[in-house]
Amino acid sequence: MLIKKSVDIRYSEVTPKSVYLDRRKFLAGLPAAFLAGRELLSPSSRALAGTKLPALAKSPFSTTEKENSYKDVSTYNNFYEFGTGKDQPAKLAQNFKTDPWTVSVEGDCAKPRKFSMDEILKVSPLEERIYRHRCVEAWSIVVPWAGYSLSALLKQVEPTPKAKFVAFESYYNLGQMPQARYSGLQLPYVEGLRLDEAMHPLTMLTVGMYGETLPPQDGAPVRLTVPWKYGFKSAKSLVKIRLVDKMPPSTWNLTNPVEYGFYSNVNPHVDHPRWSQAEERRLGEFRKRPTLMFNGYGDQVAHLYDGMDLKKNF
């Protein structure tokens, strides 16, 4: 029997844990003749959630705060393409097909290209980063993400001097996301960062959490994670990254620019028009805690905004 090392296994070859366990029960009852069909043994085309990732390096960027449980993070989600209720994405995204998958990186760069998931996983060694996250609705979570700095991917395409911003686009298909028609959003979901924000080492290209591949409701198979900004800036299920010279549109800013600014840095001194941002409640806890400027990452990122009025540029 040929045994592959984790570094040799392609993303498309990995069978999700749940599918593997169900298949063993199913195949045990089949006549041997049926086992000749390769389709019975082929990997699922659904999101490969729950698959163990190779050994992850520990990151110096990690917080020491207590992590939320996997259940907390995987069953309480904002992913409007799969429903506007917090519990809907976990229920409605389970058949989301993420294999094959490519991410196009284009625009103001010398070497535009499309990356398969296999190629994305090989750009840089994967590491685990335990990040705090703050949602605009005044709740927060602590998650052990797996991935690497987005800058490693962007360097592969060599941004030109003309590039000043990075635009992101999420996957959108009503055939897979029928609830999206009721989202109230202009889709596909788009987001943007200034180039220096995107190149900051804290900005993460994320392929997993809790040591496993991402579940569909959390942005499988690859997403953005920007821990000093409100959660909606961390676009899920990325299919396109574009380097541009002007500030790109972002979905929530397009939907309601009075409530959602382009920068969307966590700032306890700038209230949402309908509620205060001064406090937050960690998911699973009753007590509230003070909201930290830049979500507690001020030492690392405050210099990016020197001289800016953060109440005006919210």
The residue assigned the tokens 């999101």 is 47
Q: How many CA atoms lie within 13 A of 224 on its CB side?
A: 34
Phi and psi, residue 41, nearest 5°: -105, 0
Separation of alpha carbons 215 and 205, rounded Å = 15
Separation of alpha carbons 11 and 23, rounded Å = 19
Q: How far is CA 37 from CA 3, 30, 131, 155, 181, in A?
A: 21, 12, 44, 43, 38
Quote the pTM value.
Answer: 0.86
Q: How far is CA 40 from CA 35, 100, 253, in A?
A: 7, 18, 46
Yes or no: domain 53-305 corresponds to CATH 3.30.460.10:
no
**DSSP readout, 188-241?**
S-EEEEEHHHHHSTTSEEEEEETTEEPPGGGT-S-EEE-TTB-GGGS--SEEEE
Q: Which amino acid would we find at residue 90?
A: A
Report residue 205 as tokens: 């290209």
Amino acid 46: pLDDT: 53
Residue ranges per domain, the chain?
12-44, 53-305
Amino acid 50: pLDDT: 76
Q: How many residues are listed for the chain in this entry?
A: 314
Sign of CA dihedral 158, 133, 48, 127: positive
Please state the three-class secondary structure of 9-54 as a single string: CCHHHCCCHHHHHHHHHHHHCCCHHHHHCHHHHCCCCECCCCCECC
Amino acid 7: pLDDT: 47
> Rounded mean pLDDT of the chain?
89
**Which of the residues in the chain have pLDDT under 70?**
1-49
Q: How far is CA 63 from CA 106, 133, 313, in A?
A: 33, 11, 27
